[in-house]
Structure 1
């Protein structure tokens, strides 16, 4: 049994992570602002901290010691530095929930040109130890942080790697798809449009991308927190998918044929599929498999998820 601290944990796959840790018999402390309800009852400890307020995290965890800290809310080097300062050596390891967006060559802002990336990138193609970070940038400004999400995650990885006094895992998570509590609404986007007979726009000759089922993302984070693995790890289903694969799953669930329109000028179109890419953009999953964690193939879970989402959207 381990003492695990989850920063965040009240929405999307963070809730599944907490539930997975509890089911496995671990003691869980959740750190968040305390504004979102949860269903954990007395099974978790709760500490309150608003990460946008300097010093609140450090005050909340003062004197606490954990076997691992899973940071679901680290979007910038500022947040990473504050976490390191708050926990010091009192965290057995850090698990940072990062993103596939760290590999997106179009989002590199302060390293021009971007380093070369494979269409399905491997972890070694982006070394956080060799990447610079800048805490003086206005990371707390949503108008800055939002458009620079990928850069924020890269710099968070770099800061944590450079400063942490304990082992670090960087979980580079693919597009997460969930049947419930998916605030991104990426999958519901397709269900809604097909049901309404509205077109779905795609890039001309759309590429494939990496997806991961929410339970698998949560399972990996729990695995990372409770084993001795370290370093960057891509978290994704081993098979990629494109917008047509997503639409085929929706068609099987609704019995309605999606209308997909490919456009050369697709960016900015309000009907552009969130899963459409102008070229292949995803991640290789060899390292995760070698470490002992395999996510289920998209072909196994996407059709069933489509039926669940369709049923929920119809109610």
Structure 2
């Protein structure tokens, strides 16, 4: 069934894969952005230009409009959720959340983050740290808009060739260029998801009979030590580890893995992390060399 779908965001990183997958499925897609980042969709999508952090801008752009599905890739806080859901009509709202809402550990499951009995604070993105702001975005969704058919997709770190955060790239570059770095969790196993798969899983959820939070993550885990060891094996360069070095971007992450049994039950199978992450590291090595 072809649907009328709004994607808030969709011009960067895995949002591009989401839009491309929705278009491949034949849906009518509208993207809502600030109009700053150019896209390559041509006349295949409709466009709305707004500032989603400004309630008046959102209201003027979306009030009275109906979409079968709304994807919100840019919901970072409770106000972000409120500004959208107070004005738009939709059959399903799919919010990009994060596994940062959890106290993560091995085999982290959706039910471990409870949202209904926590105090909701209406906040902007700068009022809290990233993880706490994301928690309040979910508090808003499940406490104030529980009448809406909604899904909160929780991903760990999304990595891929278009990763503008360059967090994984940091480790590869520092090994090759022998730049000292400080790492506080070198042996912790961690979960990741590939950017194209992140977009495809979100598109997969469009017509699924499911509501509530859902995890997405590649199968298997890897440690920073394994990543550094692979770069050393490929380049002959040894990492320079120092307490005075640059702080590594994945510092403070605990050992964890993300349970994806709910996604599997719906029929989506994620790839195995170790089937593709070394190819991505090779890509970074080639760029640096």
**TM-score of the alignment, normalized to the shorter chain, above 0.5:** yes
Kindly state the Cα deviation for residue 171 of structure 1 after the two structures are TM-superposed: 0.3
Partner of 1:175: 157
CA distance in 2, matches of 1:156, 1:286: 24
Partner of 2:73: 72
CA distance in 2, matches of 1:272, 1:298: 25
Q: Deviations over 1:180-229 (max 9, x none)?
A: 2x121112112211221224432266311111110111111111223222
Normalization by structure 1: what TM-score?
A: 0.84
Cα 1:52–1:245 shift into 2, 3 Å:
same
Which among 102, 109, 132 is matched to residue 119 of structure 2?
Answer: 132
CA distance in 2, matches of 1:169, 1:211: 20
Kindly state the Cα deviation for residue 300 of structure 1 after the two structures are TM-superposed: 0.7
Q: Where does 1:202-281 land on structure 2 (aligned, <5 Å)?
A: 202-203=183-184, 206-251=187-232, 254-259=234-239, 261=241, 271-277=246-252, 279-281=254-256
Select between 229-238 and 92-101 the one with higher mean Cα deviation: 229-238
Partner of 2:132: 151
CA distance in 2, matches of 1:81, 1:200: 40
CA distance in 2, matches of 1:290, 1:260: 44
What are the ranges of 5 or more consecutive residues in structure 1 without an aligned counterpart?
A: 105-116
Structure 1 consecutive aligned stretches of length 4 or more whose deviation exceeds 3 Å:
117-120, 248-252, 275-279
CA distance in 2, matches of 1:38, 1:131: 39
Cα 1:289–1:259 shift into 2, 3 Å:
same
What are the ranges of 5 or more consecutive residues in structure 2 without an aligned counterpart?
A: none
Query: What is the number of residues matched between the two proteins?
Result: 287
Q: Are 1:84 and 1:163, in contact at CA under 8 Å, matched by a contact in 2?
A: no
Partner of 2:16: 15
Q: Deviations over 1:73-106 (max 9, x none)?
A: 101111111111021xx211111100111014xx
CA distance in 1, matches of 2:210, 2:229: 37
CA distance in 1, matches of 2:276, 2:142: 34
